[in-house]
Amino acid sequence: MTEQLTGLAGDRALLGRTSTAERVSDILRSRIAEGYFPPGTRLSEDGIGGALGVSRNTLREAFRLLTHERLLVHELNRGVFVRVLTVEDVEDIYRARALVECAVVRGLGEPPYPLDALAAAVAEGEKAAAGSDWKVLGTANIHFHRELVALAGSERTDELMRSVFAELRLAFHVVDDPRRLHEPYLARNRQILQTLQAGDRHAAERLLETYLADSLERVVEVYRRRVGEDAAGPS
């Protein structure tokens, strides 16, 4: 935890003069998404508050916000922890993703569509794969889906899915083979992009629907195995 707090102190400048619980929660959300605080980590009020230079009340409000987003959990007499997802959580996350992402593509209207940010996310993933940086590829994959949702032009939808994608990263951090998890979907991201560039949102929706179903199956398979291994403990 000492090394984590030292790095977190570098985020102190992000708070500026208008330190608020929302800004603190933004920093912690990003750190959790990056795997800086892995699932199951206990978050120290004193340590984090000192590293960021914020009051205990501000930090507790930030913890409350992130608990509401299902990223943290408060355990009585033990403290606040980064949440460890269950398989049921993962399935529910993908249910929400399918409902929202497919609806966004279905409702795009007539082409052409503003796809520059989506194309940049695909290029980001291809660059990461070329460098065998599989964790960065996972981040690029999240960026692809975030930009896909952004095509709806809805701040409320973006806000909703920001929390969903942050929660999804909790499941990704449990997986010990990010290449196997993320690499197969790089070409499919490119295919969805090209289909939208061709103006065929209906075909893109079908591709996305199959994509999410296949991704759910793969994540649950890997997640069940990893969680089962952890539960079994050393032999």
The per-residue pLDDT for range 84-135, each reduced to its tens digit, is 999 999 999 999 999 999 999 999 999 999 999 999 999 999 999 999 999 8
Which of 176, 172, 174 lies closest to 215 in space, CA to CA? 172
| Of 209, 173, 193, 172, residue with least CA distance to 126 | 193
| Mean of all residue pLDDT scores within the chain | 89
Q: What is the pTM of this model?
A: 0.83
Query: Rounded to whole angstroms, what are the CA distances from 197 to 148, 200, 220?
Result: 13, 8, 31
| 43 bridge partner residues | 80
Instruction: Give Cα separations from 65 to 61, 129, 138, 202, 219 (angstroms).
Output: 6, 34, 25, 37, 27
Structure tokens at 94: 């993908």
The encoded tokens of residue 38 equal 């892995």
Query: Tell me, what's the pLDDT at 13?
Result: 62
* pLDDT over 60 at 233, yes or no: no
| Helix axes 21-33 and 45-52, enclosed angle (nearest 10) | 110
Confidence band of 18 (pLDDT split at 50, 70, 90): very low
Q: Is the pLDDT of residue 16 over 90?
A: no
d(CA 223, CA 176): 9
Q: Which of the two residues, 185 and 173, has the higher pLDDT score?
A: 185
Instruction: Tell me the C-alpha distance between 77 and 136, whole Å.
Output: 36
- Of the ranges 51-55, 115-119, 223-227, which is most confident? 115-119
